Structure formats: C-alpha cells, structure tokens
Structure 1
Amino acid sequence: MRRSPAPGFSLLEVLSALALLSLLLLGVFYGIRTATRSVNTGSAVLERNDQARSLQQFLRRDLLQARALPWKLDAKGQGVVFEGEPRRMRFVAPLPGYLDRTGPQLQTLTLVDAGKGRWRLELGSTQLSPGGAGVDVGNEVLAGDMSDGRFRYYGREREGLEPRWSDRWNASARMPELVTIELDRGPRAHDAGARSANDDREDGMAWLWLQAPIRQSPNAINVGALAKALPEGSSP
C-alpha cells in the first residue's frame, strides 16, 4: 500500500513566497522613505515660509516708522533724509519692538556679497546725536544664502514731477512714497541640475517680496530747519 505524500510546500512554492515577501518589504521600505522625504521637504518649506514672513513683518514695521530726519548735509548743503541704491538704503527710524531702546537711529539695509554667487541682508544702526549720526552699534544679519536681491523706490524726486519707480533714489532731501524689497533664494550652481521641475517653477518667484509705504509726508517735517543744526561737513 502506497503512502500519500505528506502535506506541505514544495521548494518552488517556498522560494516564490520568499520572493513575494521580499518585494513586499521593498515596497514598504520605499514607501516609508518617500513619506519621510515628503515630510522633511514640507517642513523645510514651512520653515522657509515662516522665516520670510517674520522678516517681511520686521522690515515692513521698520519702513513704516521711517522719519524725515536729516543726519548729514549733501554737497548743496541740504539735509539728507533718505539714501536709496539698488542694494543699499539708509533712513532714520526707531528699531522695531524690543530693539527700540535709544529712539530713532540711522539704519542701513545692505545686500552684502557673500561670495560664490550668494548674498546676505544686513541691518546696521547708528545712534543719532544732536550733531547728526554718532556711534555705530554694528550690523545684524537678517537673512543669508540668497541668490539675488534688489531695492526699488517710488515717488516724486521734486514737486511738479510725476511719481515713478527707480532703482536709485536721487532726491536725498525727500522721502520716497513706496519702497520695494525683493529677495531670491534660487539654487546654487552645483545644485541646479538636481532640482525637480516643481522646484524650477518655484525659483521663478521671489522668496520675499515686500512693498511698504512711507507714512510720513515729505512736508510733515521742516527738513531745512533741522539741517541747519547739523555741523558743516557732517557725512557719516
């Protein structure tokens, strides 16, 4: 009498099951890895957005408080209340929030070349004295690792002219009406090939774009009278 074969799995069935299990584990691994990368990418985007939002609020408050207070005389003997260049601007305003300890200060916003095609935004402040600008209290880095940036100015350079946008503010005895700050954080040169199509689309948008009005009217303060109190040749 022949015995029936013992119940169980053949070698081929065991190998097939192991292969399927390996594929399943591989799929789970890649799923977890993709989810982790998505979470990390989302967290990085949120962090960048929060940083841009905080910096935008800081700069807006700073510019809204700008005052037409002269700190030096120009070549014609007129009081200088605002200097604007494509990557540098100077004006008098109290520092925002807890930094406002000594009243209005001469503030300098500068885009500094950090090398290797990157830029950083710095804020410098100088305490004002009765004779103009006084002690420089140093610079603070507000943002770094930027690919580009610029400042623009809108207003009338003198009475009777139409207001217009310009990369330079030539009417240093007058305040502009609007100031725009644009900062970009595009990829580094060696990272450009590794970015996706979605990243490339995002690079077309500025990381930070701010347009702030200057609240104080150009005629609100008698700049000429204040400028007479400045010593001749004062030029911080």
Structure 2
Amino acid sequence: MMRSVRGFSLMEVLAALALLTIVLLGVYSGIGTATRIVRSGDDAIERMDEIRSAQTFIRDELAQALVMPYGETDDGDVLVFDGRAQTMKFVAPLPGYLSRMGAQLLTLALVDDGRERQRLEVTLALIPPDGGDPQPLGEPEVLLRGIRKGGFAYRGMDDQNRPMDWQDEWADHRRTPLLVRIHLDADGGVAFPDMVAPVRIDASASRNGFFSGRGTRGPVIR
C-alpha cells in the first residue's frame, strides 16, 4: 500500500523563509559589527604608533640639543633656543644616517591643517660651517595630524638659580630650558599624554662660558 506523502504548505514555506532571513540578517549584522571592531582596533593601534613615534622623535632630539648658535637677534644676541607656544627651534643631530650631515636646525611647529585641526611638523635646515644662515632641507615632514589643539611650554632656572613656573614662551634665547612640555589634544580616540621632556644641556650654559655674549656664531665646544 502506498502512503500519501504530504508536502509543505505555502504558509510553512513562507515561515521558513522568514526565519532564514532573520538568521541571515543576524549573521550579517554580527559580521559587520566584528569587522568594524577589528577596523577600529587597527585604527587605534595605528594612531598609537603615530603618537608614540612623534613622542620618541621629539624626546630624542631634545635629549641631544646642542649649545650651538644658529643666528642672532636684532640686538646682536645669539640664538640657541627659540621656544614659543606654537613653534620651537633648536640645534641637534639627527638619528642614523641623517646625522652624517652634521648638526641641523630643527623647527617643530603646530600648523593649521584646515577643518579646525592642526598638524605637528618638523622642518630641517643645515648649519653652514662658516656661520652663515641655515639652509632648509626640503619640505616640512609631518609628525602627527588630526590635532584639535595643542601647545608647547618651557621651564628653567631664573637668575637666582631657582625653578621657574611653566612659560608659554622661552624668553632667553641664549640658553636652553631645563624641561619642555608638549600638550596635544588629538583625534582618533587615543589620548596624547602630556609629555615632559628634559633638555640635556645645562640651562645655565650661556652664563658658564660655553660662548660669550654677542656676535658669536658657529659651533661651540664644551
């Protein structure tokens, strides 16, 4: 005897398709969420690497700062360190093969990048051995983009050898500060911790005879 075979009704087929659609949508949503999480994690790691690289470069260069005048003020005083709220200039050797060109003038600057953002960039210039004006080396290199706001501050010793408060501008261009603080409010969901970097050179260098008064140009031997 042959048994009658009962198939699926139209309602059962539609219900199964609806259930399958819901399951597929859930799977697709889960995959999309996982992809976004992975991409966000990759972006955060990349941003952390950018911030770490910028901090390392600045810290290393400040640690190698040289008491080497690179110019003169209008009054004839030598320029050794020029520190302002948005720019910083000093002389230091570069790492690796770049140091073969000798000490160079580094200019760190916070530059308007549009859309109410700034970028941190460095400009290099060779210091001629004859005491001439520094010669720029190519275009500025960007260390970090996507900065909402930021600034530099400086701290050193006063004439009575007492610690000074943090200053937005380093007034005595003839000597270096003891410490440089860098504050950057960066995009990307990764904080740029306030960095306080020591400057290797003694801040009282200009008062201890490393170079004398006005009109001195060129390298100074310690």
TM-score strictly above 0.5: yes
Say if 2:65 is the partner of 1:66.
Answer: yes
Native 8 Å contact 2:70 2:133 kept in 1:
yes
TM superposition shift of 1:152: 1.0
In 2, Cα distance between equivalents of 1:162 and 1:112? 30
Say if 2:152 is the partner of 1:151.
Answer: yes
Aligned to 2:181: 180
Relative to structure 1, is the Cα distance of residues 158 and 58 closer, same or farther in structure 2, using a 3 angstrom cutoff?
A: same
Q: Unaligned 5+ residue runs, structure 2?
A: none
Which AA in structure 1 matches 2:148?
A: S
Q: Unaligned 5+ residue runs, structure 1?
A: 188-201, 232-236
The 5 A counterparts of 1:184-195 are: 184-186=185-187
- TM superposition outliers: structure 1 runs of 4+ over 4 Å: none
Which AA in structure 2 matches 1:6?
A: V
Aligned to 2:21: 22
Aligned-pair identity in percent equals 42
In 2, Cα distance between equivalents of 1:169 and 1:10? 85
Q: Deviations 1:14-46 (Å, cap 9, x if unpaired)?
A: 222221111111111111111111111111111
SS of equivalent to 2:137: strand
Aligned to 1:215: 200
TM superposition shift of 1:212: 0.8
Which AA in structure 2 matches 1:216?
A: I
Native 8 Å contact 2:109 2:120 kept in 1:
yes
How many residues align? The count is 213
Relative to structure 1, is the Cα distance of residues 73 and 159 closer, same or farther in structure 2, using a 3 angstrom cutoff?
A: farther
Equivalent of residue 211 in structure 2, options 224, 229, 232: 224
In 2, Cα distance between equivalents of 1:123 and 1:169? 19
The 5 A counterparts of 1:47-58 are: 47-58=46-57
Relative to structure 1, is the Cα distance of residues 209 and 161 closer, same or farther in structure 2, using a 3 angstrom cutoff?
A: closer
The TM-score normalised by the length of structure 1 is 0.80
TM superposition shift of 1:230: 3.0
Native 8 Å contact 1:126 1:133 kept in 2:
no
In 2, Cα distance between equivalents of 1:223 and 1:180? 25
TM superposition shift of 1:226: 7.8
Instruction: Name the Cα RMSD after superposition.
Output: 2.5
Native 8 Å contact 2:81 2:173 kept in 1:
yes
Native 8 Å contact 1:152 1:181 kept in 2:
yes
Aligned to 1:137: 137
Q: Deviations 1:146-178 (Å, cap 9, x if unpaired)?
A: 222211111124344432211111121121111
Aligned to 2:31: 32
Native 8 Å contact 1:70 1:227 kept in 2:
no
Relative to structure 1, is the Cα distance of residues 50 and 230 closer, same or farther in structure 2, using a 3 angstrom cutoff?
A: closer
SS of equivalent to 2:166: strand
Greater shift in the superposed pair: 40-49 or 127-136: 127-136
In 2, Cα distance between equivalents of 1:63 and 1:153? 12
In 1, Cα distance between equivalents of 2:195 and 2:97? 22
Aligned to 1:234: none
TM superposition shift of 1:223: 4.0
In 1, Cα distance between equivalents of 2:44 and 2:76? 50
